[in-house]
Structure formats: C-alpha cells, structure tokens
Structure 1
Amino acid sequence: MSTVSSSSASSAAAASIAADKTALQQAMQSVISGATGNTSMDVNSLVTALVNSKTAGQVATLAAQQSTDNTQISAYGALSAALSALQTGLTSLSNGSLQSTFTATMSGTGITATAATGAVAGSYSMSVSQVASSQALSSAAFTSTQQLGTGTLAISLGSKSFNVSVDSSNNTVAGIAAAINSASGNPGVTATVVNGTDGAHLVLASSSTGASNTISVAVNNLSGDNGLSSLGVTSTASTTGGQSTFTSAVGTSAWTQSSVAQDAEFSINGIAGSSSTNSVTSAISGVTLNLTSAAVTTPASTQTLTIAADTTSQASAINNFVTLYNTLVTTMGTLTQYNASSTSQGPLLGDSTLNTINNTLASIVASGVKNGSTSQSLASIGISLQANGTLLVDSTTLTSALQNNSSTVASLFNSTNGIGEQLNSSVTNFTQTGGMIDVRTTALNSDLTSITTQQTNLSDYISQLTSQYSAQFTALNTLMATTSNNSAYLTQLFGGTNSAGALATNKS
C-alpha cells in the first residue's frame, strides 16, 4: 500500500500558486513593455496568468481533496478485502465444524473410505462378498443390412419404460440402436452394435448398477417379422441378492447376458448390508465407502476401517486463520504508518473507523472464550499474541492440544461464542451494507460527487473569465499600439528628445 504525505495537498497548492505568480510577473512585464513602446504585450500569456492566479488555489484544493478521497476509498477497499479473506478462513472455526473432520483408513485393498460431517471416531471390521454391477444383454446375430420388420419396442429399465417405433427407415440393427439411444424418455438404456464373425449383435446395457435395474423388451404391433420378434426379452432381478436372470421371447439363444444386474453385498462388524451402487453412503453415518472388485476374495477377507480425528486438517485450518489474521494486522499497520524522516503517512492514520476495527478484533483474540467461571485463551493451544499485534503459532503445542485436549479446542472454536464466531460476527458488522466501512466509503463517494460538481462550475467560470480578460486586454493592446503609433508620428512632426522634427525644420 502506498503512503501519502499529510502536507501533499497544501504543498501542491502552494507550488501551483507560486508558479502562477511567476507567470503573472512575466506577463505584466509585457504590459509595461507595450506601454513604453518596446513591443506589443503578450495577451495570451497575460490572460492565462491572470486567470490562473485567480483560480489556482481553488483548482489545487479541489484536486488535492479528490486525490485524498480516492486514496482513502482505495485504502478502505484494501481493508475490506483483508477482512473478507479472514472471514472466509474462519468458516470451520466459527460454525463448530472444525472437529468434525476425520480421516478414514482401510487396512486392505479394494475399498476406499472418506469421512465427513456426522462421522464418529472408531474402528470397524468389513468384508465384501460381491460388488454392484449393471446388466448388459446381447442379441443373436443379424446381417448388417437385414430389415427385421416393423412394430413397437416397449423397453423397460427397472420400473421405468419407454417406446421405440421401428419402421422401414430404421429396422436394421444399427437403425434400432440409434432409435433407442435418441428415444424420448429413455431412463438409461444404451444400445450399441457389436460386429462379430457371425454378424451384427444388438447390445443393450443399463447405465445404472443394482439388482432392480434389469432390462426387458416387449415387441408390439409386429408386421413383416424378419427377426424383430426375437428382440423380445424379459429380465428378472434376484430376490436373494444374487444375479439377474432373463428369458428370451423367441428361442433360447436369442439373447445372452454378458453382465448381470446385482447389488453390492458386504458385512460391517458382522452386520449384513447391501447397496445398489458401489458408493455406499448409508452403512456408517458420515462415511462413504467405495467398493471395487479387488475387495472380493476367495476365501473372503476382512479389512479394518479406522475413523480418526483429522488433526492435520484441523491444524491447517487454524494456521490458515493465523496467517490471514496477521495479514490483516499488517494491512492495518501499513494504512496507519507514519515515516518521520519523509513526513509521509498511511492514508488512514488516525482514522476512527480503522482504529475501532483494530481494537475490536485485537480484544477478541486477546480475551479468549469465557465458559462460566473459567475462560480459555488461544495461548492454551500454542497461539500467542505478539507486541506488534500479530499471532504466533507453536506447532508442537498446537498438535498436542488437537490430539490430547480436544475439549479445549472445541471450547475455543465453538459456534456460539467461540473466537471464530466472535471474529466472524464482527467482520460482518464492519463490511456489510450499512456497516462502518460502507458508511465511510459512501460519505467519501458523496464528497467526490460534490468535488466533481465544483470542478465543473469552476471550469465554466475559468472559461468565462478567460473570454472576458481576452477581450479586455486585446482592446488595451490595440489602444496602446495606436497610441504608440500616434506618439511616433507626432515626434516625427514636432520632434522630441534629441530630435528636431519635420515641422520644426520647415519653420526654421
């Protein structure tokens, strides 16, 4: 942040006025020169000097005040940005979620776990007997150009269904696949054509895993059947956790099942569970389990899931808060600094708004949190307040507090009157619409509007004054030139100092 001199406005005005006085003296000399017959006076310089002499003080004062206002608005912007950055870093320290961060670790392979809000530290034994999969059916082979007939395919995926019209324009294997993929209301059946040595196969696959997401096809309104009827198939979900089965409408070899529809089956602490997807979110509160086929072994293997407090993330959040708070303190120091050697100062030196903000936040971090008759301070978890207002973290003490004294950490950063919540509320009061910073910047912007109006009025006055002076001094210059010419003529006729004159010579 750049600093501005407290006397810069008056210095600039004084320098401008001094320069205008010098110009005025030079211009007035031209009047004297013109009056004594040496030369014509410099009207433009004289008018400019006179106008500037009359208005320079006002121009300089308005410009200086405009510069000061803009500098202070910029300074408040920097202060507000630092406050907002601090508030963003306070999220988990103000809403009580700091200690709701956990790590989830599996002892084996094939399962990954993540813990979020709602998780509880603990250990669980887990095994997986099967993972969830989606059904895929392959039809018998057809030639690529074979027209299978016309009709309507009623296709269902689980409890959802849609219709595909088959006519002479799309009754090849490729045409039917394209019609299925583009059909309105398709809940997730994907059709592809696989070309084998025996011909083209229509493959239907579900986009969703789970035993209930089976595929069935009914052929209706059949006409000119040339293989279309063989696309009928009925799939059945297992009711015992096993694999899906199917029955072809025409011939046992009309369809084959290349992938089965089934749920994931697992056991946690001896309790059986199932899921239609391999992302299991409801088995353990706050924990998401992601299953892969690598977890299914023969014989079945048991893994251990460990949920533990994520003290690394907690320490990172606290250290980030300290960094942002120190950045704010540094910013406020820059905005209020004073350099005696250069007599320069920060744009908000002595500003009551900044002083209030600084004192309020400093009081919060210094006072800590009261809980009945006792109180907890940041120092109890290794954060000390320095003489310059910044905070310093003792990483060893902080880590120990997070691991061994979680109740103190929870008290310091509780969501009711914790340090994070106190700071968060204060920052909101300072930066919100109608808050202290908004009130000050609104007043400064109003002053800038007033200055702009004054500058416009002054500019109009300068134009009028310039026109008036130009007319007056142009007339004066003309008069002096005429007088000078008349004087020279009379001297020529009657003589003057050291000259006799034409009439005097004629008279003699």
Structure 2
Amino acid sequence: MAISSIGLGSGLDVEDMVAKLVALEQKPIQALQIKATAINSQVSAFSQLKSQISNLQTQVDKLTASETWQGRVLSSANSSTVSGTATSKAAFATYDVKVQQLASAQTIGSGLVPTGTALGQGKLTITLGEWKDGALKPNEVDGLPASVSIDITAEDDTLAKVAAKINAANAGVSATVLRDHTGERLSLQSTATGTNAAFSVAVEETADQPGLKRLEYLGADSSAGMTRSQTAQDTLATINGIAMASRNTTFADVADGVTLTVSQKTEGDAAVRITIKGDTATAKTALTNLVESYNALSSAMSTMTSYDPTSKTAGTLQGDSTAINLQSALRRLLTSNSGAGGAFTTLSQIGLAFQTDGTLKIDDTKLTKALEDPDSMAKFFAADLEGDANDGLGVRLKDFTTGLLSSDGVFATKDESMKSQLKRNTQDQERLTTRVNAYEKRLLAQYTALDVKMSSLTALDTYINQQITMWNKDS
C-alpha cells in the first residue's frame, strides 16, 4: 500500500517537526528584519532633522542680511494722498509734502464726423515733444521715435481704421473712437504723462481727396480740426518747502533710498507728513522665526535621542553618536560669544535665553531695547570678517548649517552609511533565506526517506506477527 502523505508511514507529525526546526533557523533572519526596520526609522529621523536644519538655515539667512538690521519703514500721515517706500540707504528724516498738480497726458479730440463719412486720403505725422511758446519742441519719449508718419489710403479713410493704424504705429499716442447717436469723434491721448510727452498731429492731404485736415492739431492757437481737452503736465509738489516736479506721479529716489508716490492734490496749505524710521518689525520677526525653528529642531533631537525609563522606550536615535554630537555642537555654537564688536556678545544679552529643557525663549522687553541699537545687532549677527573666528553669530550658524547640508556633510555621510547597512542587511537576509530553504528541503527529504523505511519495517512487523499467529494456531 502506497504512502499518501509524509508521516503516515511512521506515525510521526513530520510537518510540525520540520516547521519547528526551520523556525529555529529563521531566527537570524527575523533579527535582520528587526534591524532593517530600525535602520529605516533612523533614515526617516535623519530626514526629518535635515529638513529642520534646512529651515533653520533659511531663518539664519535673514539674520545675515544687512536689510534685516538696517531696514527703514516709511509712514505717511495721509497715505491716500502721498505714500512711499524707503530702503536701507534712507536717512532717518521727516518730509512735509504739498501737492499742487498731478501729472497728466495730453488729450485732443476731433469734431463730429457723421458715421460712414469718408475722411479723405493723405498722411498723418505724429510728433512727440514739449510745447514751448506755442511751438512743439520734438524729443523722444521712453525710447519712442520723436516723429512717426502714417499713410491714410482709400481703404483707411474711416475713423475706426485711422485709429487702428495710429495704435499700430507705436507713436506714443493711443487712439479711441467715441460714438453716440449723432456720429463719431476721434480721441487721441499720449501714452505717457508729463510735459515732455505732448504731441502734435500734422496732416498732408491729397488735393483730390481732402478732409484729413479735420484730424490736424498744431497747438493751442491752431484753427485746424482737433482741439485739446487736457494739457500734458508734470506733477508739481513742494517737499520741505522746495519745489519739485515729476513726469508721472512718482518721485523716484527723491532722496537717497526714498521714493514718494502722490495720488491726489493736497488741500489748501496743508502738508502730508512723511516719517522715516528704523524698521524693527522685520528684525523681530526674523528672530522670532529663528527661535521657533531652533526650538522645533531641539525638541525633535531631544525626543529622538532620549530614553524613557518608565515605559522602557528608547528614542529612534538613542545612543546615535551623530545625532548626539550634532545636538551638542549646535548648543555650543548658540551659547558661544560673538566677538564681532558692538554692544552685544551673547544671545542672552539681546533677550534670547536658554531654558532648562534646552529651548530658547524671547524676553520681549529686552529684545525691543536691543533692537534700538541696529548697528550692534548687525555686528552680532551679520558681521562677516572673511573667516575670522569673530564672525557674527548668524554668519557662523549659516556656515555650520551649510556644512551639515553639503554633499559631503554629516547628513549625506550618514545617509550613505545607512543605505550601505540596509544593502548589507538585505543581502544577509537573502543569503540566510536561501540557506533556510535548502535546510527545509533537506529535512523534508530525510524525513520522507525515514517515513518510507519505517513504513516498510511496520509492514514486515505486521507480516511476521501474522505468521506467528498462524503457526500458533496450527500447532
């Protein structure tokens, strides 16, 4: 009788015996799998730390910028009339601004042209310039040519087509056709404001197709077709009693680092007070962001490297020398003196003090007082002495974080090391798995042979017992 399953011939639970022996051989593989999980957790932890170091570097960058400490804020007593901006070049000052006139563009318009009326043929010559003593003194405006000629043919002799050709000519003048129930009118306006952006329109019409003269404009005293509804003029203002003019509504760099923009005229003799002071808000925000970034990093490192005796749980990076050294190096850097000069040498002097849990806390009163001395704050954080150990704290922090994040820095080296560990771990698991599989196959073969042999012996034993029984009956 054939054996249908291993163990039937011997009566042994061979499958269970083999499974338990194989499980013992798989113990090293399970240990490797646990180790791989731990390494992957460390990879994730270092990735988190790298991201937080990168964020810290972003905040440090702001502390090394001179604009953070030497910034200026411009305030206006009436920003709807006069507003502006100030850069670090601006001096602390006040300006009283009176606006007498706003810049405008020259605008002219034609008389009524009944819809469908042919204008005639010829040439329009638009010249940019400035009106002086009733005559136009030509000049270029914003890089445009001083004079542009436009041919008007039989195909172009409607107001709409003339306007389209003027707009396409890039002559410094925009054209619009205005319509109502009585007909059409052509409106021309210079594309720039200011007295130097005025224009004239000279017309040469053909003798057999007259009519274009109605679009001519040669000045205020001209009796030709178009009339002026708005004069090209500059913005006129007085700043601290001094007369100033601008082609538009902006007085760019009116003083070093100061730009003013006017929106409307001032009333009567009233002036708008402009005040320029130091910008402490930007610096305070930068320092607040630094503290928040460092505290997040510090808390993460403390959690990762700690051990909780109550729960007997170790942090992901508990005992990792790289993480511990990083934590110590950063703390040493932040507690060191900044010898770049100025009134401050430590963070605590400006109101940033370490707490017992390793985080930083801001003393707002102390910080506000320190920000009243922007030069010393700039030296403390942003002084760059070309490699000197007395560089500002921000400069040294920037160098420190840049080194950590470089292609050959701590994080890159650690990442490469952990990848190598994972690769070896995978190879070891594969090698052991192959060995265990071979062991299992060998055990199954051996127990199968044993089962067959024992089955044969059992059959022989049964046969002998039967023969003995028969012999006993015969006797």
- Tell whether the structures are fold-level matches, with TM greater than 0.5: yes
Match of 1:413 in 2: 381
Residue number among 114, 129, 140 corresponding to 2:85 in the alignment: 114
Match for residue 98 of structure 1 among 68, 71, 77: 68
For residue 165 of structure 1, report the CA deviation from its aligned partner. Answer: 6.0
Which of 469, 475, 480 is residue 441 of structure 2 equivalent to?
A: 469
Q: 1:444 aligns with which of 404, 418, 442?
A: 418
Q: Deviations over 1:452-475 (max 9, x none)?
A: 45556666x379739x928x8479
Q: Which runs of 5+ in 2 are unaligned?
A: 129-139, 385-390
Letter of the aligned partner of 1:384 in structure 2?
A: A
1:265-344 matched pairs, under 5 angstroms: 265-295=236-266, 297=267, 299-344=268-313
> What secondary structure, in the 3-state scheme, does the structure 1 residue paired with 2:112 have?
strand
Change in CA separation of 1:257 and 1:356 when aligned onto 2, cut-off 3 Å? farther
Q: Deviations over 1:339-382 (max 9, x none)?
A: 12233222222333333332333223222322569862222222
1:422 aligns with 2:396: yes
Q: Partner of 1:186 in structure 2?
A: 170
Secondary structure, counterpart of 1:208 in structure 2: coil
Counterpart in 2 of 1:136?
A: 107
Asked if residue 172 in structure 1 is aligned to residue 158 in structure 2, the reply is: yes
The answer on whether the counterparts of 1:82 and 1:331 sit within 8 Å (CA) in structure 2 is: no
Residues 478 and 452 of structure 1, relative CA distance in 2, 3 Å threshold: closer
- 1:149 deviates by 4.3
Question: 1:283 Cα deviation (Å)?
Answer: 0.5
Q: Is the 8 A contact 1:194 1:203 kept in 2?
A: yes
Contact 1:104 1:114 in 2 (8 A): yes
**Residues 51 and 465, structure 1, Cα contact 8 Å, conserved in 2:** no
**TM-score computed with the length of structure 2 as normaliser:** 0.79
Contact 1:131–1:293 at 8 Å: present in 2 too? yes
CA distance in structure 2 between the partners assigned to 1:113 and 1:61 by the alignment: 69
Aligned counterparts of 2:208 and 2:45: Cα–Cα separation in 1? 83
1:376 to 1:62, Cα distance in 2 relative to 1, 3 A = same
On the 8 A contact 1:378/1:412 being kept in 2, the answer is no
Q: How much has 1:168 moved relative to structure 2?
A: 5.4
Q: Is the 8 A contact 2:342 2:380 kept in 1?
A: no
Q: Say if 1:107 and 1:485 are closer, same or farther in 2 by CA, change over 3 A.
A: same
- Structure 1 438/136 Cα, relative in aligned 2: closer, same or farther at 3 Å? farther
CA distance in 2, matches of 1:36, 1:260: 118
Pairing 1:38-117 to 2, within 5 Å after superposition:
53-54=24-25, 56-108=26-78, 110-117=81-88
1:432 is aligned to 2:406? yes
> Are the counterparts in 2 of residues 129 and 300 from structure 1 also a CA contact under 8 Å?
no
The alpha-carbon deviation at position 153 of structure 1 amounts to 4.9
Give the match for residue 135 of structure 2: none
Secondary structure at 1:349's aligned position in 2?
coil
Whole-Å Cα distance in 2 between the matches of residues 397 and 186 of structure 1?
A: 60
Q: CA RMSD in A?
A: 3.9
CA contact under 8 A between 1:164 and 1:180: conserved in structure 2? yes
Q: Shift in Å at residue 289 of structure 1?
A: 0.9
Distance of aligned partners of 1:374 and 1:485 in 2 relative to their CA distance in 1, 3 Å threshold: same
Q: Which amino acid aligns with 2:380?
A: L
> Does the Cα contact within 8 Å between 1:138 and 1:256 map onto a contact in 2?
yes
Structure 2: distance between partners of 1:224 and 1:484:
130
Structure 1: how far apart are the matches of 2:69 and 2:45?
Answer: 36
Counterpart of 2:185, as a letter, is H
> CA 1:482–1:324 in structure 2 vs 1: closer, same or farther (change >3 Å)?
closer
**What amino acid maps onto 1:175 in structure 2?**
K
Q: Distance in 1 between matches of 2:323 and 2:258?
A: 45
Deviation at 1:156, TM superposition (A): 5.6
Tell me, yes or no, if the aligned pair for 1:95 and 1:421 is still in contact at 8 Å: no
Alpha-carbon separation, structure 2, partners of 1:454 and 1:227: 98
Name 2:133's counterpart in structure 1.
none
277-286 vs 56-65, which deviates more?
56-65
Deviation at 1:72, TM superposition (A): 1.8
- Partner residue of 1:364? 333
- In the alignment, which residue of structure 1 is the partner of 2:193? 209
TM-score of the pair, normalised by structure 1: 0.74
Tell me how far 1:79 sits from its aligned partner.
1.2
Residues 152, 166 of structure 1: 8 Å contact kept: yes
- Number of equivalenced pairs: 449
Is the CA contact (8 Å cut-off) linking 1:34 and 1:477 kept in structure 2?
no
Q: 1:350-361 residue pairs with structure 2 within 5 A?
A: 350-361=319-330
5+ long unaligned stretches in structure 1? 1-29, 235-244
| CA contact 2:56–2:293 (8 Å) conserved in 1 | yes
**Deviations 1:127-151 (CA, angstroms, capped at 9, x unpaired):** 2222222233323332343343456
The equivalent residue for 2:117 is 146
The percentage of counterpart residues that share the same residue type is: 29
How many angstroms apart in 1 are the aligned matches of 2:331 and 2:378?
A: 21
Secondary structure in structure 2 of the residue aligned to 1:294: coil
